[in-house]
Each structure stands twice: as structure tokens, then as C-alpha cells.
A and B are shown apart, each in its own frame.
Chain A
Amino acid sequence: MAALTVRALGLEFRNPVVLASGPAGFGLELAESFDLAKVGALTTKTVTLEPRSGNPQPRLVDAPCGVLNSIGLQNPGCDAFRAELLPRIRAFPTKRIVSIAGRSPEELGTLAARLSGEPGVDALEVNLSCPNVRGETVAEDPQSVRAFVHAARSASTVPLLAKLPGEGKYLDLVEAALSAGADGVALINALRGMRIHTETGLPLLDRQAGGLCGPAIFPIALQRVFEARKAFPETVIVGTGGVSDLRGALEMLCAGADLIGVGFAVMADPDAVFRLQGELDEWLTAHGISNVKELRGAAHRGGIHVR
């Protein structure tokens, strides 16, 4: 048995597999059929201050090797989350990262203050990169990233992650988030993409663009994580985007991820996600590697086994 425990953000994760924000919802349905102790953490669907009903249908559009999503942050709002969902999430045998988003730094600060310190909130993840809500893709410039992260940091005492896009000058955004007090980053959110209806010639999604996720974006996400690790050797990175199997998880670790975020695969093949920790253990053991830590960033230091 290899050691799979990851110490990051001042927390101990049982293994590096993290359910990314969104596809797993609040984990309640998954918990009916799967043992959440088999993942290192659950990231909740993004919670906002007020309830949101999200975008109209269609919300999912097919894409080669993945899907375009346009959910639009549907969630019950902070108060209902605290009163009705958190007590149930608290009981999960895994770490809980609560994803939050705000329309302004002030709103985000209020939200962070209400959730920080609640039992069951092991960490907060500020979603700065949702491609699906108008005027809230705040993560396009470092200044606003700094303002939002600073607001969340000042209002909370729990570890803080910034969820960033993999587009544009993403390394500047990582830098901005870290300098404003984030303890780490989740990279990447879904990438903007679109499809057009061939009978009407019009975009298939109401909001034209949606967030492309799934295996289609894996090589892109991997490269962004690799670059971020190179630029920030010490920071915590939740490498997210297109991981669907053991090989993807191993590559993410070698690129420099501390933890591996899994989104689309939870929708497409949840069994595979809950098998990952076992497969990782077997692979490490078969390769004579005693601790998963040894893979972290291997691509930056001459490969596996070369230390």
C-alpha cells in the first residue's frame, strides 16, 4: 500500500482526488451510492449570497470528447445552503471545500464571512472563472482577481483557493490571487466554446458560449498546471480539467498538481472516479513508489524516480 495522503492548505486529504465544483452538486446524491471516503475532498457547487435559478435550457450541449455546459450557477443561496445542506455535508467522510462566487468583492466578503468558521467548511474556493454568468467572469484582469480574493481573505479564516480560468494571461491571474492571500489555486475552469445549430444557423446555447469540459480539454489543462507549477513552485494547485482515468490523474500529478480536480467524469462515469484512489494505489505499489508525493511535479525535475 502506497501512502496517498496529501497535506495541503493545512489540511490532510485522504487521497489527491477532489470532486470539482459543479457536476457533483452538493454530494448528496453521490453519497447514496458511493463511499465519499474514497475521494480526498468534495468541492460543492458554487454558492452565491442569493438563490439563483441559473440559465434556461439547453444547459448541456454535446461536444467531441466532452460537453459544453451552461448551468449558470444554479444554487439555493447561502442561507438555505447553511441551514439545509451544510448539516448533511458536514457528515461526509471527506474534506469539504465550499465554492463561492459574488457579484462584487463586498458581496463575496459577506458570503465568505457567513461561511468561514461554520463546522463542515474545511476550505473556501472562490470561483473567479465561471464562463456562464453575464458580467461575472471577473477573472479577466489581475486587478479584479486581487480585489475579490482580498475581500474573501479578509473575511475568512479558513484556507482559501482561487478557481481560475485556463485562458488569457492565466499566470498573471495566479500571481494576483496568491498575492492577495489565496493559499492555492484550482486550475482550470471550463474553457469557453460554442456550437451552432445547423438547421437554424444560430448558436445552440442561449448565451452563445458555454464552458467546454471533459477529455477534450485535458491537454490544455495539463499544460496550464505545468506552467503554473513552474512559475510557483510552492503554491497548492488543484489540477482540474478533463481527468477521466488513472493515466490523466498521474499526468496531472507529474505536471505539478497537489490535488486532482475531477468534474465531467463525475457526470459521465462516476464509478471510474471512485475507483481512482484504488488504481492510484495499485499503480504506485507496482512501480515501487511508496508515497504519492513523489510524483508531484516529476515532469519538472527529470521525471519519476529521478530526485
Chain B
Amino acid sequence: MKRTSSNASTAAHEGPLFSASSGHLKSRTVAGGYARITIEVDRLSTPEPGQFVLLRLREGPALPRAFSVLAAELGRLEFLLKLDGTLREALARAAIGTEVVVRGPYGTPYESRIGRDRRYVLAGGGSGIAPLLHFAAAHPELTEAVAFGVRGRAVRDLLPETALAVEEEDGETATDRLRKRWKRGLGILACGPEPMLRGIAERYAGEPGTYVSLETRIGCGFGACQGCSIETRSGMLRVCRDGPLFACSEVPWLR
């Protein structure tokens, strides 16, 4: 095993602003088991695609939860939540204006983890499409195509700015779409449920430029507690700080 604090951690974003800020739930739309929410928050550096923040409600779970950012501008963050779990369901019920404590941004931006020498197909499933939409908007020069697997038509109503193809209509999963759009020379950025990532790893892990965005329960968020650490070829690495994006070949257990 290599040491816990791996060199991978010294990549791009050292010294983030940790302090929690008090934000407010500004707007929300709910459809098809998902919610899109906007939180207004000052005093927070604007997250880059792939970074996440920790959210907490005063009356919610004691441990804050990690959420990728769907879109960000100064003072305003958007998220796509799958409505399955304590905090997400609470956020779906909370009155507009409710205080939300925001901490972050954490994690290494996708862009500083990947090679800029190729273009990528963005493969996403469920709420995993959120960071990929953020990435696609910020980096059209690196985005070849998207391959999103979203089941229900209703979810499209949450993302009117995207021409989201849904499984319910054409029967295609993220992996099906990826298979059509990927060709040798392109990279892959994948974020979604573990079975989807496993499927992608099985087929594309050997291809250069294949990356997976991983999810484990996040503890501190800033790399100290080792709660989110996973086994990799370079030893134990922290999803919250060394990741969440990892080269697919770094995580052999995914296959």
C-alpha cells in the first residue's frame, strides 16, 4: 500500500475556502423522482465542473451530504437531486427561503484531472448527469458528445435547456448511447450509478482517457477523515480530495 496522502492530492486545488456559508433555497422544480434546486449563497468560491459542495439543513441529518454542481455562477448554485434519502427528500419539501448551510467547493475539477489532448464522450446516469452538464457547458472544446441515461420523460422538464433523450422514449441506456458515440481516440467521462460504471469499466477501462466519477459517503469533505477513501492502484485515495474523478484503470475493482 502506498501512503494515505498520495501525491495525487497535490493536483490543482490546494487551499480551498472551507468555511461554511449560510445559503437559502431560492427555487425548486420537482419531476419524475428528481428535483432541480437553486441555492443562493454568498462567500463561496464558484465551483468548477466536477467539484461538489456539502449541504446541510439545520433540521436535517447531522452529517452534511455531497452534491455535484449542475450549474454555478457567483452567489448561485444549481443542483439535480434524486429524491431518495433523508436530506434530498427534506430539500424537496422545504419551504422556499429555507436556510441551507453550504460548505466547499471540494474535490478536484474534472478538467485538471483529465488530459486536454482529446475530446470526451460524457456518459451519465441519474443525477450523475449533473456534473457532466456543468462540464459540457464550461468546456465545449473538450466535449464530443453526451450519452445520458435518464429513464423518465418527466426529468426532461427539469432540464429544458438540454435536448435530453430518455430511455422511456427510445429504450436506450447510457451504455447503449455511449457505444454509438464513442470511437477510438475519444475519451470518456462517466458519472452515474455503480452498475453503469461497472458496465463502462468492463468495456472501456483499457482505453486511454476513460475516467469515472465515483461516489462514497463523504465525511469531512476536505481530505482529513478518510471516510471516503477507496482502494486504487496508487494506494488508498480520497474521493473527496483526490477525486471524485479517477482514471478508470486506477480502480480495478470496478471491473
Report A's interface with B, CB cutoff 8 A.
22-30, 32-34, 45, 51-54, 56-62, 64-67, 69, 71, 74-76, 80, 84, 214-216, 244, 264, 266-271
State how many angstroms separate the Cβ of A103 from the closest Cβ of chain B. Answer: 17
Q: Is the CB of B63 within 8 A of A62?
A: yes
B126 / chain A contacts, CB cutoff of 8 Å: none
Residues of chain B in range 61-93 having any CB-CB distance to chain A below 8 Å: 61-64, 86
**Contacting residue for A269 out of B4, B20, B219, B226, CB 8 A:** B20
The listed residue with most A CB atoms (<10 A of its CB), out of B20, B64, B229, is B229
**Contacting residue for B226 out of A28, A59, A64, A271, CB 8 A:** A59
Q: How far apart sit A24 and B86, CA to CA, in the bound complex (Å)?
A: 26
Q: How far apart sit A257 and B87, CA to CA, in the bound complex (Å)?
A: 34
Q: Is the CB of B231 within 8 A of A59?
A: no
A29 / chain B contacts, CB cutoff of 8 Å: 220, 222-224, 241
Q: Does B5 contact A (CB under 8 A)?
A: yes
B217 / chain A contacts, CB cutoff of 8 Å: 58-62
Chain A residue at minimal CB-CB distance from B253:
A56
The listed residue with most A CB atoms (<10 A of its CB), out of B62, B221, B228, B235, is B62
Chain B residue at minimal CB-CB distance from A73:
B226
Chain A residue at minimal CB-CB distance from B9:
A29
Q: Is the CB of B63 within 8 A of A57?
A: no
B183 / chain A contacts, CB cutoff of 8 Å: none
State how many angstroms separate the Cβ of B100 from the closest Cβ of chain A. Answer: 14
Q: Is the CB of A57 within 8 A of B61?
A: no
Stretch at the interface among B11-19, B107-115, B156-164, B201-209: B11-19
Q: Is the CB of A23 within 8 A of B223?
A: no
Query: Contacts A23-B220, A30-B222, A60-B217 known; A65 to B236 CB distance under 8 Å?
Result: no
Q: Is the CB of B229 within 8 A of A30?
A: no
Q: Is the CB of A33 within 8 A of B216?
A: no
Q: Does B31 contact A (CB under 8 A)?
A: no
Q: Is the CB of B19 within 8 A of A84?
A: no
Can you name 8 extra interface pairs (CB under 8 A) apart from A64-B61, A214-B62? A32-B16, A53-B1, A54-B236, A60-B218, A60-B219, A66-B63, A266-B220, A267-B63
Q: Is the CB of A59 within 8 A of B216?
A: yes
B223 / chain A contacts, CB cutoff of 8 Å: 25, 29
Q: Does B184 contact A (CB under 8 A)?
A: no
State how many angstroms separate the Cβ of A284 from the closest Cβ of chain B. Answer: 25
Q: Does B180 contact A (CB under 8 A)?
A: no
Report B's interface with A, CB cutoff 8 A.
1, 3-5, 14-20, 56, 61-64, 86, 101, 216-231, 235-236, 241
Q: Is the CB of B18 within 8 A of A34?
A: yes
Q: Is the CB of B63 within 8 A of A51?
A: no
Q: How far apart sit A28 and B3, CA to CA, in the bound complex (Å)?
A: 15
B14 / chain A contacts, CB cutoff of 8 Å: 32
Q: How far apart sit A14 and B62, CA to CA, in the bound complex (Å)?
A: 28
Count: A-B pairs, CB below 8 Å: 122
Q: Is the CB of B5 within 8 A of A22?
A: no
26 residue pairs bridging A and B, Cβ less than 8 Å apart:
A25-B223, A25-B224, A25-B225, A26-B224, A27-B224, A32-B14, A33-B17, A34-B18, A51-B1, A58-B216, A59-B216, A60-B219, A69-B227, A71-B226, A71-B227, A74-B4, A74-B236, A75-B4, A76-B5, A214-B62, A215-B62, A266-B224, A267-B220, A267-B227, A270-B220, A271-B18
Q: Is the CB of B225 within 8 A of A267?
A: yes
A215 / chain B contacts, CB cutoff of 8 Å: 62
State how many angstroms separate the Cβ of A25 from the closest Cβ of chain B. Answer: 3
Q: How far apart sit A119 and B226, CA to CA, in the bound complex (Å)?
A: 26
A-B pairs with the 5 shortest C-beta distances?
A: A25-B224, A33-B18, A60-B227, A267-B220, A76-B3
Q: How far apart sit A26 and B4, CA to CA, in the bound complex (Å)?
A: 11
State how many angstroms separate the Cβ of A307 from the closest Cβ of chain B. Answer: 36
Chain A residue at minimal CB-CB distance from B219:
A267
B229 / chain A contacts, CB cutoff of 8 Å: 54, 59, 74
**Contacting residue for A66 out of B5, B62, B216, B224, CB 8 A:** B62
State how many angstroms separate the Cβ of A10 from the closest Cβ of chain B. Answer: 28
State how many angstroms separate the Cβ of A35 from the closest Cβ of chain B. Answer: 12
Q: Is the CB of B3 within 8 A of A22?
A: no
B221 / chain A contacts, CB cutoff of 8 Å: 267
Q: How far apart sit A34 and B16, CA to CA, in the bound complex (Å)?
A: 11
State how many angstroms separate the Cβ of B118 from the closest Cβ of chain A. Answer: 30
Q: Is the CB of B20 within 8 A of A76?
A: no
**Contacting residue for A30 out of B4, B56, B224, B241, CB 8 A:** B224
Chain B residue at minimal CB-CB distance from A265:
B62
**Contacting residue for B231 out of A51, A53, A61, CB 8 A:** A53
State how many angstroms separate the Cβ of A132 from the closest Cβ of chain B. Answer: 11
Query: Contacts A53-B235, A54-B236 known; A271 to B20 CB distance under 8 Å?
Result: yes
Q: Is the CB of B1 within 8 A of A57?
A: no
B86 / chain A contacts, CB cutoff of 8 Å: 62
B224 / chain A contacts, CB cutoff of 8 Å: 23-30, 266-267
Q: How far apart sit A279 and B17, CA to CA, in the bound complex (Å)?
A: 22
Chain B residue at minimal CB-CB distance from A57:
B216
